[in-house]
Structure 1
Amino acid sequence: MAQRAEQAGGSSISGIANEIAAQMDSLSTSAPIAEEAIARDLEEEPEEANSNSEDDDSDDSTIRQYSMINSYRRPSCANPAARSPAIFSSSMPDHGYLSKKEREAVRSEERSLLRDNHLLPPKHPRRGSEGVLSSLGRRISTSGLRKVRSEADEEALYPDGSPSEQTALLDGDPSLPYGGLDSPKTINKRWDEAVAAGKISTTWQRETKVLLRTSAPMILTFLLQYSLPVASIFTVGHIGKIELGAVSLASMTASITGYAVIHGLSTSLDTLCAQAYPVNPRLVGLQLQRMVYFLWLMIIPIATVWSFGTQILAVIVPERETAEFAGLYLKVLIAGAPGYAAFEAGKRYVQAQGIFSATMYVLLICAPLNAYLNWMFVWKLKWGFVGAPIAVSITETIMPILLFLYVYFIDGSKCWGGFDRRALKNWMPMVKLALPGLVMVLAELIAFEIIALSSSWMGTTPLAAQSVLGSITGITWQIPFPMSVAASTRIANLIGATLAEPAKVTAKVAAVFSVIIGVANLLLLYGFRNSIPRLFTPDEEVIELVAALLPLCAAFQVFDATAATCNGILRGLGRQEFGGYVALFSYYVIGVPISFGLGFGAGWGLYGLWAGPAIALGIVSLIETIFILKVNWQKAVHAAERRNQLG
């Protein structure tokens, strides 16, 4: 999370940062591996399927030095667990292509910025010669009503209803939208000229709208996906505190030994699909098949571990009954693992085409369904504890089916060329790309899970309280984290287009949002500290312990939100590698020892265990904030220019 503390005088921190960065650069070999893999696939590809004309755009075939299109970065990431740090690729992704939707979206953003800076006329300039009645009739029409809002925005820019003499756009036709200057060629030309002349600027109002617009669907998606395990904790928690602790322990074990493995391995599709799409879209479907088969093969050892979950956990967890319940939960989860793996691979298949709404639509159906199934199986049908993992397994099986139906009937089938025998070979490049992602996912995930597992040695009540606390703080984290993804994407795009000042404005807006979100979470957790635990369990001992610990959790909400958002800003700057290693240092060298020292050595119990991550988050957010305050934004722009030239 924390990033390079690039400070004056060549401090030791700066030296370490430079050394780590150099090492990471030397290990960055994903592009050649992917290119080699695609070349092998192309050797056996039918010649008639080697075109991608639908997404080609002649106006963008030549590299535009300042284009946001050529610097576009997808808002992709892996989020394997509730409280683990976010996992991203080790370098700024070079996708090498954009889908048609993405091209249109980025060009629309360029056009909007040109209009706001009075370098294009408004879309619908006011017609001064139009009569009152005709104007009223036009406005109350169906099409007119749809334009009211956009016209209001444009009139704020042009109070007199038309561009001023300073706009230098009098060559356009005022009777046409954007003065008739809305062609891709014109937008490209004017954009490059405007950026080169330093005429593109932005406002905090615009960047606020952009961040809210892009982060809102991601927040919804993350909350929905996180609700799947929380529904089980919420439902089972009302049976008893032993069951509550067991479902938390089982979810943690499933994350480390299964879900994180699937997440980490599937990240290789981010690179492979990017290399395959511009050559032949159907190769994206081939990569999907190959990954699904690979993940299903990996489920065999995962299922073996889950089958012996009771025996394994009995060695680690002192409470035998807790280990038995958790082992039962893991055994039932095996049935849903193939569906979960297919969904994770399929999610990257649609994202490779610029389709980010498919996952949200699937979760809008599956999340409520999962909650209903949990209630029905556990309470309505009186199956008890075992009903929760059954509900999760059914949901995980339905998710890829719904995603397939979306692709087949709505959007995304272009990249599917049918089942292919080539998916059974040429696996080594995929494995080479998948292993680094797996290592990073597990390394960052285990830090928080060590804390959760340690609580089981304090007794049934602390373990149950840990389950509730982990769920609560996990929910609050699903808001600043998607905001950080939106900020990262926006800043990367602006930096890539050599717009240093607008990128700084976005960073400032994101930082303010992080503080607002953190304070809101703080007030929520502290104000309802006695009420929130009762939503998860009726046990008074657990409620009392959670209520006592929620002020501590509330206290680090500002640090948590700030660290997440600053992490996103630094990813946008392309400085995330060092941040990942500082995060590992903060949690393993500082946070975990403090947790064990205070939790067990000083006898503070669960309060001591949570003090470690709280202190680590404070350190992380402090280092990141210092770095961002001292960052050289123009230097980041120069780095982006070099990437564009190499592109």
Structure 2
Amino acid sequence: MAKGEGKSVDLKEKLLRHEAGKEENHEGVTFKEKLWEESKKLWKVAGPAIFTRFSTFGVFVISQSFIGHVGPTELAAYSIAFTVLLRFSNGILLGMASALETLCGQAYGAKQYSMLGIYLQRSWIVLTCCSICLMPVYIFSGPIFIALGQEEHIVRVARIIALYILGVNFSFIPSFTCQMYLQAQSKNRMIAYVAAVSVVMHLILSWLLMVHFELGIHGAMISTLVAYWFPNICQLLFIICGGCRETWTGWSLLAFKDLWPVVKLSLSSGGMLCLELWYPTILVLFTGNLKNAEVAVDALSICLNVSGLESMISLGFYAAVSVRVSNELGAGNSKGAKFATIVATGTSLALGFVLFVVFLCLRGTISYVFTQSEAVAKEVADLSPFLAFTILLNSVQPVLSGVSIGAGWQSYVAYVNLACYYVIGIPVGIVLGYTLGWQVKGIWIGMLVGIFFQTLVLVGMTLRTDWDHEVSSTRVRLNRWSVFENRNDREHKNLEDEA
């Protein structure tokens, strides 16, 4: 037998013994114990992720509240700038950054720890290039808003806000990437801590700059910039200064090598999430052309805000299940990935069902938190059953999207989103809302139809998944993308030996 063949046989035997050892470790474990352990791992990521999302939403609410006291023009300008510009770029950058969830999660599960730092740096390069390409949208926001039919006095203020938001847009680069890098290692508790400090800091700074120093809209936006950048600086310092000794080995030129596969995965991820995040915004634009549009838009906006708040919980599970699935696939544990999917989906669905019942009972009562208008409250009461069913569906759909991120199915899900939302959902909403005269109910039913079909397809994809095949695909991907690092390590070691 050749020497190389002997080594190959030894390696196979070690792998078989390792796999057998893992199976033996699980033989004596009851289902209840497995469920408890998986739930702890799930909530270790989901808890901080949910809290962080609520804190980020709190920054937006605080800014909106303070700006609302400056004047109606400033409030309208702020709402337009954030809704149109920031949601547009947020969808692109968040989607492209989600490629890092796949890469870091699988690499961490495979114990290729040093690759996490390289993937993080590659993601910074890709997202920075993307943000530079998006700069003209903010710089020339004035003509864009005019083209969208906004009034000139609102556009004058929105144009100023847009330049500040450009700084917020660049803050998404370290924000999204560092969060996903830390989540892959289940180290996102510190993200929740700094997010909480950021909200308190933003509240105090907003009061100082706007009330005490009377800086108006400029004070509000300066405080907003600080609130968005402070957590990022803390996360970067935590990573670089020793918080992730295993996975951050310093700056590397390898970040500039083999970028194209990362770019492709980032584009697939961006397409997947953009199509999803922009869907409600497009429906609101269609609602603006209905009869009694002001009441319709207000009612739909209230329902979408409530749905958005609930989605913070679902998105927490989305982050958690993507980490758990990618970690298990990277570790070569197909059964673990499947079990993580079941536990995350079941937990989120149970919470979603409770909220479904709550909002079904509340009906129009919830609207008085946002408005005093009886007409709007009545419209919200009519939409409440649709809101409740949306919340129920949204307790499953984001979790399954998280599974697709963890497994690296972004390109397939992008096509699913395109078909379900834009080929089915929006046309159904237009026909029911305009042609049949169902007004805002028809628009919302169209949204529900799109989400329902997307959920069905994702459920089908997940049920038909061959998890053993996914493990094999993950190994191929990890081996291909870690080749440069391994080669560099060998060259570095040879240089040291020669010295």
2:379 & 2:212 partners in 1: Cα distance?
30
* Residue among 154, 161, 170 paired with 1:338: 170
User: 5 Å matches for 1:273-312?
Assistant: 281=114, 288=120, 291-292=123-124, 295-312=127-144
Between structures 1 and 2, the one with greater helix share: 2
Q: 1:504 to 1:272 in 2, by over 3 A?
A: closer
- Tell me the number of residue pairs that the alignment of Structure 1 and Structure 2 aligns: 460
C-alpha separation in 2, matches of 1:526 and 1:514: 18
Query: What SS class does the counterpart of residue 31 from structure 2 fall into?
Result: coil
Question: In 2 relative to 1, CA 544–63 (structure 1 residues): closer, same or farther, beyond 3 Å?
Answer: farther
Distance change (3 Å), C-alpha of 1:384 and 1:428:
same
Show the counterpart of 1:522.
356
Deviates more, 1:333-342 or 1:270-279: 270-279
1:472–1:401 CA distance, 2 compared to 1 (3 A) = same
Matched, 1:250 2:78: no
1:582 aligns to 2:416 (yes or no): yes
Partner Cα distance (2:406, 2:113) in 1: 29
User: Is the aligned partner of 1:607 residue 2:438?
Assistant: no
What does the per-residue CA deviation read over 1:191-215, in whole Å, with 9 as the maximum and x for residues that have no partner? 34456xx665522752555544443
1:130-181 CA deviation, whole Å, 9 max, x = no partner?
xxxxxxxxxxxxxxxxxxxxxxxxxxxxxxxxxxxxxxxxxxxxxxxxxxxx
| Counterpart contact for 1:573–1:636, Cα < 8 Å | no
Note the C-alpha offset of 1:588: 0.7
Report whether the alignment pairs 1:202 with 2:31: yes
Q: 2:466 aligns with which of 611, 625, 636?
A: 636
Instruction: Give the superposition deviation at 1:589.
Output: 1.3
Q: Deviations over 1:34-74 (max 9, x none)?
A: xxxxxxxxxxxxxxxxxxxxxxxxxx99864586xxxxxxx
Deviation at residue 465 of structure 1 after TM alignment: 4.5
* CA apart distance, 1:389: 3.6
CA distance in 1 between partners of 2:341 and 2:184 (Å):
27
Distance in structure 1 (CA, Å) of the matches to 2:196 and 2:178: 17
**Partner residue of 1:83?**
none
Within 2, Cα distance between the matches of 1:293 and 1:643? Answer: 26
What's the secondary structure of 1:191's corresponding residue? helix
Contact 2:271 2:414 in 1 (8 A): no
Provide the residue aligned with 1:259 in structure 2. 90
2:275 pairs, out of 437, 443, 459, with 443
Amino acid corresponding to residue 351 of structure 2 in structure 1: I
Q: Does 1:453 align with 2:282?
A: no
Indicate how the Cα distance of structure 1 residues 455 and 378 shifts in structure 2: closer, same or farther if over 3 A, else same.
Answer: farther
Distance 2:95 2:338 in 1: 32
Displacement of 1:472 after TM fit? 1.9
Partners of 1:337 and 1:396 within 8 A in 2: no
Quick check: 2:272–2:413 contact (8 Å CA) kept in 1? no
Please, what TM-score do these two structures have when normalized by structure 1?
A: 0.58
Q: How far did 1:574 drift?
A: 7.4
Structure 2 matches for 1:388-403, cutoff 5 A? Answer: 388-403=220-235
Structure 1: runs of 5+ lacking an equivalent: 1-59, 68-187
Which residue of structure 2 lines up, in the alignment, with residue 364 of structure 1?
Answer: 196
Matched-pair contact (CA < 8 Å) for 1:593–1:612? yes
Q: Residue 606 and residue 297 in structure 1: after superposition, are their counterparts in 2 closer, same or farther (change >3 A)?
A: same
* Alpha carbons of structure 1 residues 504 and 63: separation in structure 2 relative to 1, 3 Å: same
> Is 1:218 the equivalent of 2:49?
yes
Distance 1:242 1:555, change over 3 A: farther
Deviation at 1:293, TM superposition (A): 5.6
Is 1:598 aligned to residue 432 of structure 2? yes
Contact kept? 2:272, 2:411, Cα under 8 Å: no
- CA displacement, residues 6-45 of structure 1 (integer Å, 9 cap, x when unaligned): xxxxxxxxxxxxxxxxxxxxxxxxxxxxxxxxxxxxxxxx
Equivalent AA in structure 2 for residue 302 of structure 1: L
Q: Which amino acid aligns with 1:310?
A: G
Superimposed CA distance per residue, residues 416-470 of structure 1 (whole angstroms, 9 cap, x where no aligned partner): 6666788789866654554333333333333232123334445555445544433
User: Which secondary structure does the structure 1 equivalent of 2:432 belong to?
Assistant: helix
CA drift at 1:329: 2.9
Aligned partners of 2:410 and 2:267: how far apart in 1? 19
Q: Give the 3 Å change call, closer, same or farther, for CA 301–641 of structure 1 in structure 2.
A: closer
Contact 2:195 2:231 in 1 (8 A): yes
User: Among 306, 328, 349, which residue is 1:472 paired with?
Assistant: 306
Paired residues of 1:230 and 1:471 also in contact (CA < 8 A) = no
558, 564, 567: which one aligns with 2:398: 564
Assess if the C-alpha contact under 8 Å between 1:241 and 1:460 holds in 2. Answer: no
TM alignment of 1:18-37, pairs within 5 A: none
* Whole-angstrom CA distance in 2 between matches of 1:292 and 1:611: 39
Question: Take 1:306 and 1:479, find their aligned partners in 2: how far apart are those partners?
Answer: 31
How far does residue 221 in structure 1 lie from its aligned partner after superposition? Answer: 2.5
Structure (1 or 2) with the larger CA radius of gyration = 1
1:32 is aligned to: none
CA distance in 1, matches of 2:221, 2:286: 23
Q: Is the 8 A contact 1:490 1:572 kept in 2?
A: yes
Distance 1:269 1:320, change over 3 A: same
Equivalent position amino acid for 2:134 in 1:
I
Report the CA distance shift for 1:508/1:245 in structure 2 as closer, same or farther (over 3 A): same
Structure 2 CA distance for partners of 1:386 and 1:311, relative to 1, 3 Å: farther
SS in 1 for 2:195: helix
Change (3 A) 1:63 1:620: farther
Deviations 1:89-135 (A, max 9, x none): xxxxxxxxxxxxxxxxxxxxxxxxxxxxxxxxxxxxxxxxxxxxxxx
| Aligned residues of 1:517 and 1:561 also touching (Cα < 8 A) | yes
Contact kept in structure 2, 1:215 and 1:486, CA below 8 Å: yes
Letter in 2 for 1:608: G
Structure 1 residues 213, 264: CA separation in 2 closer, same or farther (over 3 Å shift)? closer
Report deviation, 1:587.
0.7
Structure 2 CA distance for aligned equivalents of residues 487 and 271 of structure 1:
11
Residue in structure 2 matched with residue 57 of structure 1 by the alignment? none
- Residues 456 and 462 in structure 1, CA contact (< 8 A), matched pair in contact too: yes
Name 1:191's counterpart in structure 2.
Answer: 22
**% of aligned pairs identical?**
23
CA contact (8 A) 1:234 1:536 kept: no
| Maintained 8 Å contact 1:374/1:391 | yes
CA deviations over 1:259-278 (Å, ceiling 9, x no partner): 23333444455577677998
Tell me by how many angstroms 1:344 deviates.
3.1
Shift of 1:330: 1.9
* Aligned mates of 1:380, 1:530 — CA distance in 2: 38
CA RMSD, 1 decimal: 4.5
Contact conserved, 2:171 with 2:232, CA < 8 A, in 1?
Answer: yes
| Contact 1:64/1:192, CA 8 A, preserved across alignment | no
Query: For the structure 1 residues 442 and 570, does the alpha-carbon distance in structure 2 shift closer, same or farther, using more than 3 Å as the test?
Result: closer
Q: 1:369 to 1:525 in 2, by over 3 A?
A: farther
Deviation (angstroms), 1:312 = 0.7
Return the structure number with greater relative CO, CA threshold 8 A, min gap 6. Answer: 1
Residue type at the aligned position of 1:606: V
| Letter aligned with residue 406 of structure 1 | F
Equivalents in 1 of 2:382, 2:49: separation in Å? 32
